[in-house]
Amino acid sequence: MHATLRVFIFSTGMAALAYAIYVSNVEPAPDSASGHVFVTDIHEQSMQSLLTIHPGKNVPKEVHMIVEIPTGSQNKYEFSEDYRVVKLDRVLPSAQRYPVEYGFLPRSRAEDGDPLDIIALVTEPTAPGILITVRPIGTMNMQDGDDDDSKVVAVPVDDIRFADIQTIDDVPEAKLKEIADFFSTYKNLLSKKTSVSGWGNREEGEKLIQEGLEHFQ
């Protein structure tokens, strides 16, 4: 039996995520020119995509969120469907940093064809690729150019500090203003227009989740 061990390390400031994928009974094909074996040579069904992880056991009340960008990061990471890894998309050109965890709901599609966005309040930043079980508390109604780019707002289920945060109205107004200001201005130096028009309640967040799962085909 042939077995291959692949290790990937994602570093974000002082936090690093390392995970290994062990593949058995797979014979990866070497590059014809160099003889090197690349992870993209492994048969696609030997690795589970972050996109197809189960969305949760209590949808839409609680769902799985895959983190792409941790709180405090200037790096914009995103999951690559082509390579099935989290990659660096760009670095924010301004001095701003993400005020929330930014990620997506597995097995979902938003109106723009991408996985449904989730932003989550956390006590400590996590790392790209981390799965968090979150509770939706509302939506952030956002436009990116002429396109709707609304996001589910959520909090971690497994952090008792957020036990009393059940709806968007429970979030301090100052925090909501910080989040809205960031997402309204973080593309300014790229000459791109974004805006936040308001917040939706928990029921709207759950509805957005249901629609996103239905669009995943």
pTM, full prediction: 0.80
Residue 84: what pLDDT?
87
Q: What CA–CA distance (Å, rounded) separates 47 from 49?
A: 6
Taken in order 108, 111, 112, 113, the sign of the CA dihedral is positive
Instruction: Provide the number of structural domains found in the chain.
Output: 2
pLDDT beneath 50: ranges in the chain: 3-5, 7-29, 31-32, 34, 36-47
Task: Tell me if residue 216 falls in helix, strand or coil.
Answer: coil
Residues 159 and 210 in one domain: yes
Q: Give the domain extent around 29.
A: 1-47
Residues 129 and 174 in one domain: yes
| CA-based R_g, the chain, Å | 18
Residue 48: what pLDDT?
61
Asked which of 47, 62, 77 is the last residue of a domain, the reply is 47
Task: Tell me if residue 125 falls in helix, strand or coil.
Answer: coil
CA-wise closest residue to 212 among 58, 49, 48, 59: 59
Residues 58 and 108 in one domain: yes
Question: pLDDT by residue (tens digit) across 19-73?
Answer: 333 333 444 445 445 454 444 443 344 346 888 999 999 999 999 999 999 999 9
Residues 110 and 166 in one domain: yes
Burial string for 85-122 (b: 16+ CB within 10 Å, else e) reads bbeeeeebeeeeebbbbbbbbbbbbbeeeebbbbbbbb
Q: Residue 201: which CATH number?
A: 3.90.80.10
Residues 42 and 106 in one domain: no
Residue 49: what pLDDT?
84
Residues 130 and 191 in one domain: yes
Residues 95 and 112 in one domain: yes
Residues 157 and 80 in one domain: yes
